[in-house]
Amino acid sequence: MLRRSLSVSSIDSQVTLVETDAQYIIAAGAHRRPLRQPRPNSQFTIGARRVIQVPKGTSAVTKLAAAGACIGLGAGIGYWVAKEKDTIPNAQDTRVLGSEIAGLKVPAVIPNTDYENEAKPAYYNDTATPMHQRMEALVLDLQDRLVVALESLEPSRKFIRDRWEREDGNGYGISCVLQDGEVYEKAGVNVSVIEGTLAPGQLRSMRERNPQTANKLNANEEYDFRVAGVSVVVHPRNPYAPTAHKNYRRFEVYRKSNKEAGPVLAWFGGGADLTPAYLFEGDVKYFHQTLKQACDAHDPQYYPRFKQWCDTYFTNIHRDETRGVGGIFFDDLEDKAPEDLFHFAYDAGSAFIKAYVPLVAKRMTMPYTLRERNWQLIRRGHYAEFNLVYDRGTKFGLMTPGARIESILMSLPLTARWEYMNQPEPGSPEAHLLEAVRTTTDWAK
Active-site positions read 245
Residues in CB range of 367: below 8 A, 6 or more apart: 96, 98, 101
What are phi and psi for residue 103, nearest 5 degrees?
-95, 5
Distance between CA atoms of residues 242 and 281, nearest Å: 12
Cα distances (Å, whole numbers) of residue 380 to 213, 215, 275, 311: 34, 39, 9, 18
Alpha-carbon dihedral of residues 133, 139, 142, 146, nearest 10 degrees?
A: -150
